[in-house]
Structures are given as C-alpha cells and as structure tokens.
Amino acid sequence: MADQNDRLAALMDEGGFSHKSLARAVVAAAARKGDDLTCDHTYVSRWLKGSIPRGDLPHLIAEVIGRKVGHRLTVDDIGMGDAAVRTVKLELGLDFSDLPDASTTSIVDLWRADLAEADVLVRANPDSAAWHEASVRWLVAPPDGAIERVGRGVVKLPDVEMVRSTADVFSTLDGKYGGGHARRALIQYLHSDVRPMLEGTYSAVVGQQLYGATAEALLLAGWMSYDSGLHGVAQRYLIQALRMTHAAGDRRLGGSVLSAMSHQATFVGRYREAATLARAALAGPAGSLTPTLAAQFRAMEARALARLGDARGCDLALAEAERQLDLRTPDSDPAYIAYFDEIELAAEMGHCFRDLGRYTQAVQVGDGSIFGDGVSNRSDFFATTVQAESYLAQGELDRGLGLTLTALELGESLKSARCQQYMRELRNRITPAMARTGEFRDFSDRATEFDLWTTAAA
C-alpha cells in the first residue's frame, strides 16, 4: 500500500483547502486549459493516501495549490515526484518549448525519469525531426525577455558559480574516465541541487546567469549520455540545453549545443542532419562568434561531409577551421570552448582523412593529435585508434597493432560506449590475411588481457 502523502496534506492545510474545494479548483483549472476533467473529494482522499494520479494531473494539482499559497510548487513539493516516472512519455524532452517555465518542467521531469531509468527513455533512439525543429526554432524564435521568478529560497550569483564549478569537476571526470563513470552522479546533482534553484526566487540578472549555467551543465549531461550510448536521452538533454541558451540570451553557447548535436548525429549515421546542424551552429551566433567557436563548428561540418564522401566540401571546411583557429586570441573565448586547440583540430582532421580513405594524411596529422597529459584519456584513445586504423589500412601491421595496444591501455580506465564502438570498427580492419600472421598472434595474446578487446569481439 502507498505511503500517506504528508506533503500534500500540509500544503492543503497551508492553503486552506478542504477535499471538496481542492477538487473544484483542479476541475476549474483544467477547464481553463480546455480539458473536461472529472474530480471530486474521493479523488483527493486517494491522493492523500498515497495514490498518484495519471497524466498531467499532478502538475495541475501543484499549480492550483501553488497559486493559493503564493509560490510555485512542483510535483516533488506535493509528494508526487514519482508521477513523472510512471507517466513518462516518449516525447518528453524533445520539444523546444515556447516558454522557459515549460522547459524547466520538462528538464526536471527528464532528470527524474533518467534517474529512475525509465525504459521508454533508455531505449529511445534519436529523432531527426526533433533535431530539425529545435534548431529552426532556436534560429528564429524571438527573445524570451527577463528571466525572473518568485519561489522557495533565494538564488544569488555565488550559487550560480557553484553550479559552474561543480560541472567543471564532472567535465574533468568525463574526459579522464568516460561518460559512464560519473553520468548518474551528475544527473543526481542536477536534480537534487540545481532543480531547487530553478524553482527558487531570483532576479533577472541572476536568472539569466542561472539559465546559462544550467545550459552548460545540460550540455555536459548530453555529452556524457551520448558517450554512454544513451542516444535518446542525450538528444533530449541537448535540446533542453539549447532551449536554456535561448532563455539566457547566449547565442554562442547555443551554437556549441548545436555542434554537439552534429557530433552525435555523425556518430549515429545521420550525416546530412549532422552537416545541417553544424551550419546552424555557425549561423546562429552571427557577429558574436569567436574564431575558436567557428573553427570547432567547421570541424564538425567537415566530419559530417567526410562521412558523406564529400571530399571537396570537407577540405574547404577544414581549411576554414585552420584559418579561424589561427585568428584566436587568449581572451576572446568563453570558458567552455577553451579545450579546442591545435591538438583537438588535428584529431578531427585525422577522423576526416580516415573516413575519406586518405590514410597517409591521417597518419601524418596523428602525431599532433595526442595530449598525453593523463587527463584527456578518451580524446587520446580516439586519436590513437584512428591512427591505428590508418596504419592497418595501409598494411603496416606492426605500427597498427602497436598503436592498438596503446589504445587498449588507455581504454582500461574508460567507461564509454563510444570507445567500444571505435574498437569494434578497428577490429573490422583486421583482414583474414592479417589474422594469420605471427605478428597478429603475438598481439592477440596480449590484447585478450584487455576487456575492451574481448567486448569488441563479442
């Protein structure tokens, strides 16, 4: 039997609601939204006993009571947090909402459903139409205006900086150990600590900064979910991150979110969508675009075009990326793009040349694509794997297998579905003739010590 809903009882008492008056208020609120709802005092009795109503009714109850007590309430506040999990729908998080408040509701529901591992989300695949709609709406939607709110607890700028600092810690863990290592901890932090801030009281100045910081954290959640192989979840976080950048008025950050969408689209084989998303990333920030951002967005366009076999388009995009990166200055970039430098661009070029079958060029840029700092382990894994593939494709077995072992050593500390996919693709480079050589037998004896190699084989 469900537990008594003491939170709802306390709020009803605070708002002066009887069973019948709450039922009438909920019916009236539904009618204002155009819904014909049946609800009486017996429904309220069941809610107080722990029953959770279906559909959007929990949100409606929170809205009605919140209006009476003088501050906004969530389904968590009224003791119905599990409702968002039990009634989660496939379209949750895919919509670029008209209003910032609607986006906040979607984000909170998404965090809760993610933590509960709602099956409908875990199994979801990316929706190309959702990418298209979100990018177009971001490009053309009018500004939201001031973001300010009255709720529980006052949020100040130091609170926002705490969100950014915490996200930075998770970003470091992501690069060193893979998205699967601390992804759930990040989502738990966002739900337990950032959610109350979004639902609190803040001025327009603080609201803009809070939405921007939340967008950065959602962007990271998208990357970590993507790296964990949760592509439907990742797409939803990225769409909501994009909506948050719009509310914050940060077009450059919005471009970075679209660039991340492009990266994911390329990985899952939606190459035309990936190229379009990268171009939207370039177009959106207009005059506020920095050289480093432009270089990164062009590199994403090049990755998509290489997969499409458009060598000329890829070469033009890479040339522009190099030109833009040469124009950057130390103080021109926002903090979240500081990672993109000559090493990162070399790694992107290596991917492009490999995909175009230009293995000699891929090998040439490969030496400059490794950080070797013990922190950027996943980036080094990807770059090393691309080099290994390129050597194998050229028939240089010793070099290719040696680099494969290096990649496997890097992969030992990485919890990443993408790393598994890279290793599967590398294994496919091993021809039957290669597999019969003594070099491969010696390599195989060592490679089987690594879980990543055996997982890729399975």
- Can you give the residue ranges of every domain in the chain? 1-81, 97-249
Q: Output the CATH code of domain 1-81.
A: 1.10.260
Amino acid identity of 11? L
Q: Report d(CA 8, CA 11) in Å as an integer.
A: 5
Q: Given the structure tokens 């522009």, which residue do they identify?
A: 320
Task: State the SS3 of the chain.
Answer: CCCCCHHHHHHHHHHCCCHHHHHHHHHHHHHHCCCCCCCCHHHHHHHHCCCCCCCCHHHHHHHHHHHHHCCCCCCCCCCCCCHHHHCCCCCCCCCCCCCHHHHHHHHHHHHHHHHCCCHHHHCCCCCHHHHHHHHHHHHHCCCCCCCCECCCCECCHHHHHHHHHHHHHHHHHHHHHCHHHHHHHHHHHHHHHHHHHHCCEECHHHHHHHHHHHHHHHHHHHHHHHHCCCHHHHHHHHHHHHHHHHHHCCHHHHHHHHHHHHHHHHHCCCHHHHHHHHHHHHHCCHHHCCHHHHHHHHHHHHHHHHHHCCHHHHHHHHHHHHHHHHCCCCCCCCHHHCCCCHHHHHHHHHHHHHHCCCHHHHHHHHHHHCCCCCCCHHHHHHHHHHHHHHHHHCCCHHHHHHHHHHHHHHHCCCCCHHHHHHHHHHHCCCCHHHHCCHHHHHHHHHHCCCHHHHHHHC
Instruction: Give the model's pLDDT for residue 273.
Output: 98
Amino acid identity of 92? L
C-alpha neighbours within 13 Å on the C-beta side of residue 413: 16
DSSP code, position 191: I
Q: Report d(CA 386, CA 311) in Å as an integer.
A: 18
Q: Report d(CA 109, CA 86) in Å as an integer.
A: 11
Q: Report d(CA 285, CA 193) in Å as an integer.
A: 30
Q: Report d(CA 312, CA 186) in Å as an integer.
A: 41
- How many residues in total does the chain contain? 458
CB atoms within 10 A of CB 158: 8
Instruction: Give the model's pLDDT for residue 280.
Output: 98
- Residue 250: phi and psi, rounded to 5, are -110, 90
Tens of pLDDT along the chain (458 residues) come to 457 888 889 898 888 999 989 889 988 888 888 788 888 888 888 888 877 787 678 878 988 898 888 877 877 788 877 665 666 788 999 999 999 999 999 999 999 999 999 999 999 999 999 999 999 999 999 999 899 999 889 999 999 999 999 999 999 999 999 999 999 999 999 999 999 999 999 999 999 999 999 999 999 999 999 999 999 999 999 999 999 999 999 999 999 999 999 999 999 999 999 999 999 999 999 889 999 999 999 999 999 999 999 999 999 999 999 999 999 987 889 999 989 999 999 999 999 999 999 999 999 998 899 999 989 999 999 999 999 999 999 999 999 999 999 999 999 999 999 999 999 999 999 999 999 999 999 999 999 999 999 988 87
For residues 100 and 178, the answer to whether their CB atoms sit within 8 Å is: no
What is this structure's pTM?
0.86
Q: Which residues pair with 201 in a beta bridge?
A: 154
Q: Report d(CA 449, CA 454) in Å as an integer.
A: 8
Instruction: Give the model's pLDDT for residue 179.
Output: 97
Nearest to 388 by CA among 319, 344, 310, 447: 447
Under DSSP, is residue 415 helix (H, G, I), strand (E, B) or coil? coil
Q: Given the structure tokens 């990742």, which residue do they identify?
A: 234
Instruction: Give the model's pLDDT for residue 55.
Output: 67
- Alpha helices (H) along 124-250: 128-140, 157-177, 179-189, 195-198, 204-227, 231-248
